Structure 1
Amino acid sequence: MSDLTLIPAVSMALPETPYHARHFINGVYCDSADGVVTERISPSHGVVVSRAARGGVAETEAAIAAARAAFDDGRWSGLSGKARATVLFRVADLIEKNVERLALLETLESGKPISQSRGECGGVADLWRYAASLARTSHGDSHNNLGEDMLAMVMKEPIGVVSIITPWNFPFWILGQKLPYALAAGCTCVVKPSEMTPSTTAILGEILNEAGMPAGVVNIVLGLGQPVGALMAEHPSVDMVTFTGSTAVGRSITAAASGTLKKVALELGGKNPQVIFPDADLESAADAVTFGVYFNVGQCCNAGSRIIVHEDIAEAFTARVMELSRKVAFGDPLDPRTQVGAIVTPAHQQKIDGFVQAAKADGAKIAMGGGALSVPGLTGEFYQPTVITGVRPEMAIARDEVFGPVLSVLTFRTLDEAIRLTNDASYGLSAGVWSENVHTCLEFARRAQAGTVWTNTWMDGFAEVSFGGMKQSGLGRENGRYGMEEFLEVKSLVMRIGRSRAPWVKSI
């Protein structure tokens, strides 16, 4: 541990009082009727950084009713695409003006580095702007080849009231992959952020009001999965629920929504492999692998948590990844130099270490790390950069989502074997391949069972490009044109434009 790069606590003063996060219902901020709050203790600094109203059935029902009324009277869905886009563009501008405020709270609540929070919160503005462009360009189809007296149109309409449930690891970014696209489509929404990172979502209410969003179009309820999230999923006045989080909770969301047969979109877990061939640019690959496993402390559905390396280069490549791992700056998230911050909770830290120790007991080797990390001047939750070798495909460390800074190393000899290992998982979110041979890359991309395949890069994303998984990594897509299509219903309109229809009832 002594040879790692550590960033000690900085002297930057923490906020004097915790942020007070409240519900945002029908355009008005409010506390819970019973006055109950949830305190968030910073995982990096060990102090209370926010107090959020803890909603219950009453607040959830009120938010859903507000969204239902706002959709049914057409105050948003009835606007032109141009009018909706105008408001979304204003939201994007105001997000950029509030980046520092948003980023500080996100860092304090999540433990991620301040530089990453700034990039995440500021980058969300691009998602809102792209969604705004879709609001003006969405269209259906016409069919003018059905006969001289027939004309048909396929129209797209907003699905209605959408429940949006977001996680703690990228609270503002993941909201940006859902909410602006739903709004661009003309939907109204009820949003529940994680109780661990509520503040940036709560602040969005102020931004929406200032941007001119009509009251009731977006409603925010803070609280726990029970009862808030469960009611948002099962309520008969909700037409769709979109959720990002664990696969286990995704199943429960689907079950809750099944009673009303509402549409469900899910972005769930991943056990994402990067496959490295001997002819790859190995230095670039090693850097990308290091980034992929430690970005956001590995608490990322897209984390490159397992690598599948050709046997001829496995030992040298793994050694290079460990060398780079020692140079990655772990420490105080408030220092801009920090690249990796804190684990979100003590319980999650224990879960991560449980996976590592189980792998060791099962015969794998902890080649690096494998335990808690002490950062000078801080009392928070930190975990060492960890690399595990000698991993067999059937081990839990190779198959389950650890959600921490832990890399599993497997090896292969042939392309077929690499693809078999890639697809030998219940997840199918992302995969990567490193080779200078375009044929290798293309064959891998076509055969890999993953919603995104990166070639000679890792985790590059764009507002224009869809994101989502196969198998137990989820249902539906976010971002891109497909991201808005999720929130649209398709309706066919068939018209007879003449009087040539032969009568069905004939005189005898």
Structure 2
Amino acid sequence: MKDLTINAATAFDLPPAFAGRHLIDGAWVDGPETFERVSPSHDVVVSRSALGGEAESEAAIAAARSAFDAGIWSRISARDRAAVLLKVADLIETNVDRIAVQETLESGKPISQARGEVGGAADLWRYAASLARTSHGDSHNSLGEDMLGVVVKEPIGVVSIITPWNFPFWILSQKLPFALAAGCTVVVKPSEMTPSSTVMMGELLIEAGLPAGVCNIVLGYGQPVGSLMSTHKDVDMVTFTGSTAVGKLITQAASGTLKKVALELGGKNPQVIMPDADLEQAADAVTFGVYFNVGQCCNSSSRIIVHEDIAEAFVARVVALSRQVRFGDPLDDSTQVGAIVTAEHNAKINSYVQDAIKAGAKVEIGGAPLSIDGLGPQFYQPTVVSNVSPDMAIAREEVFGPVLSVLTFKTLDEAITLTNDSDYGLSAGIWSNDIHACLEFSRRAHAGTVWTNTWMDGYPELAFGGVKQSGQGREIGKYGFDEFLEVKSLVMRVGRDSRTPWVTMSA
């Protein structure tokens, strides 16, 4: 531990605990019960939120249904919807620091990354506004002289949005503005571990002029809130980001009403390192990919597949960089890796590492929880594990922490086989100066996103989502926007005399 780079506790004055309330039909609603969130980094209560149940969930769904059916949002012009979304984007940028501090306290992520997440979300809202203005269907003028066909896109209806704790503001902004741009009304349930930034979003929506009932927020737990949002007959679609296990439960729950389900789930994302790659850049990207957001990221590059000729030297580079990554107080602007979200998850991360060691893997650095003076034990050391075989749990399952697994290969075919030997298919990457190798890998990798000579670059224009057990459907981009639309065909006879009667009246 002495050779790690540690940021001790700062003298930052923590704000008072945030008071979170439900937003139902345009009004803030308290409840008879509350629940608390204790900061994983500072071990103090940082939020107290109203605890929602069936009554609040029913009221929120009813408000969304009524608002949609009344057309106060779904039938207004796209120009007017876009104007509200653009106001929200401006308000997000005005409130970055306030939202980011609260998110850091609840999640344990570094404040610099929280600011980037919150501030960057404004671009998602602006892009969604542009899609609202430019959405269109098709016309078919070739069906005969007396027929005209028109294909229109309509909002799917009431959408349940269920978001996770690791990127609570960003992932909400991957869903909410696109649903609103389409004309849908929504009910949102944030994770009980990071509820406050979603409530703050509700404040911005009201200030921007979103009509009452269009966006409703219910705070609480998966049972009963998330369950009711997934099964209720008045909900037309559920969009969920979280674990694959919970995604499967939501799919089962939603099947009773055959509502649409969109899922963004787990990943076990590989980066393939070819011997001709720019190894300095690749090592930096691998280090970023495994430690960003404390490794608690569905896109984390938690396994690398390195050509055996360069594996030893490349791992040494990553280990050297790992020693320089700043772990510690997430309220310190220079901190790059903060706290693990719960003590239970910290123990789970460690169990993966210890099981790998028992199976013959080698820990190159780290491999244990990390206690920091003034902050407590809810941290984990930067960890690189080599001599990993493809059958080990650490190579196959989502560890969701600052832990990198190293596998090796001899040929590109073998690297692609290892890449695809996974239940997941969220993202993958390759580092090589050979464009042919990059293209072959990109085409054959079973993943929703493939990066070449970069990692985790993303843009509002590009759809995001996975294959296999990493999910179904897409978020952001035009394809993500289309998830919230239904297609309707209008078949119109415009000629009156040319149709031959089906029934001929006898004289």
TM > 0.5 between the two? yes
In structure 1, which of residues 383, 386, 408 is the aligned counterpart of residue 383 of structure 2? 386
Confirm or deny that 1:65 pairs with 2:78: no
- SS of structure 2 residue aligned to 1:178: helix
Provide the identity percentage.
73
Confirm or deny that 1:49 pairs with 2:60: no
CA distance in 1, matches of 2:97, 2:377: 23
CA distance in 1, matches of 2:2, 2:133: 56
Confirm or deny that 1:478 pairs with 2:475: yes
* Structure 2 match to 1:441: 438
- Return the offset for 1:507: 5.1
In structure 1, which of residues 334, 356, 363 is the aligned counterpart of residue 353 of structure 2? 356
Of residues 380-389 and 497-506 in structure 1, the stretch that sits farther from structure 2 once superposed is 497-506
Summarize deviations over 1:108-154 as a string: whole Å, max 9, x none. Answer: 00000111111101111110000001110000011111121211011
* Structure 2 match to 1:10: 10
* Structure 2 match to 1:373: 370
Distance 1:446 1:343, change over 3 A: same
- 2:468 partner amino acid: K
TM-score, normalised via structure 2 length: 0.99
Structure 1: 5+ residue runs without aligned partners?
A: none
CA distance in 1, matches of 2:494, 2:206: 46
Summarize deviations over 1:442-494 as a string: whole Å, max 9, x none. Answer: 01000000000000000000011100000000010001011110000000011
- Return the offset for 1:11: 0.7
**1:145-294 pair list within 5 angstroms:** 145-294=142-291
In structure 2, which of residues 135, 138, 160 is the aligned counterpart of residue 138 of structure 1? 135
- SS of structure 2 residue aligned to 1:162: strand
* Structure 2 match to 1:503: 501
CA distance in 1, matches of 2:500, 2:362: 79
- Return the offset for 1:422: 0.3
CA distance in 2, matches of 1:182, 1:350: 37
Summarize deviations over 1:239-295 as a string: whole Å, max 9, x none. Answer: 000000000000000011000000000000000000000000000000000000000
* Structure 1 match to 2:19: 20
- Return the offset for 1:380: 4.6
Distance 1:338 1:227, change over 3 A: same
Confirm or deny that 1:424 pairs with 2:421: yes
Give yes or no for contact 2:159–2:239 (8 Å, CA) kept in 1.
yes
- 2:45 partner amino acid: V
CA distance in 2, matches of 1:264, 1:498: 41
- Return the offset for 1:206: 1.1
Moved over 6 A (4+): none
Of residues 267-276 and 357-366 in structure 1, the stretch that sits farther from structure 2 once superposed is 357-366
Summarize deviations over 1:8-52 as a string: whole Å, max 9, x none. Answer: 11111112x2110110111111112xx111110000000000001
**1:29-40 pair list within 5 angstroms:** 29-32=28-31, 35-40=32-37
Give yes or no for contact 1:64–1:190 (8 Å, CA) kept in 2.
yes
Summarize deviations over 1:215-257 as a string: whole Å, max 9, x none. Answer: 0000000000000000000000000000000000000000110
CA distance in 2, matches of 1:507, 1:43: 81
- SS of structure 1 residue aligned to 2:416: helix
Distance 1:23 1:380, change over 3 A: farther
- SS of structure 2 residue aligned to 1:422: helix
CA distance in 2, matches of 1:464, 1:418: 30
CA distance in 2, matches of 1:142, 1:125: 34
- SS of structure 2 residue aligned to 1:274: strand
CA distance in 2, matches of 1:449, 1:104: 37
Confirm or deny that 1:83 pairs with 2:44: no
Confirm or deny that 1:337 pairs with 2:337: no
- 1:63 partner amino acid: A
Give yes or no for contact 1:45–1:380 (8 Å, CA) kept in 2.
no
CA distance in 2, matches of 1:475, 1:374: 39
Give yes or no for contact 2:369–2:377 (8 Å, CA) kept in 1.
no
- 1:180 partner amino acid: P
* Structure 1 match to 2:453: 456
TM-score, normalised via structure 1 length: 0.99
Give yes or no for contact 2:270–2:304 (8 Å, CA) kept in 1.
yes
- SS of structure 1 residue aligned to 2:46: strand
- 1:28 partner amino acid: A
- Return the offset for 1:429: 0.1
- SS of structure 1 residue aligned to 2:297: coil
Structure 2: 5+ residue runs without aligned partners?
A: none
- Return the offset for 1:506: 3.4
- Return the offset for 1:331: 0.4
- Return the offset for 1:383: 0.1
Summarize deviations over 1:350-386 as a string: whole Å, max 9, x none. Answer: 1100111111111111121110112232115100000
CA distance in 2, matches of 1:506, 1:282: 81
CA distance in 1, matches of 2:148, 2:356: 64
CA distance in 1, matches of 2:44, 2:14: 9
* Structure 1 match to 2:122: 125
Confirm or deny that 1:493 pairs with 2:490: yes
- Return the offset for 1:101: 0.6
- SS of structure 2 residue aligned to 1:260: coil
Give yes or no for contact 1:43–1:380 (8 Å, CA) kept in 2.
no
Give yes or no for contact 2:370–2:377 (8 Å, CA) kept in 1.
no
CA distance in 1, matches of 2:444, 2:202: 44
Give yes or no for contact 1:46–1:380 (8 Å, CA) kept in 2.
no
Distance 1:380 1:54, change over 3 A: farther
- SS of structure 2 residue aligned to 1:142: strand
How many residues were matched structurally? Answer: 505
CA distance in 2, matches of 1:119, 1:302: 16
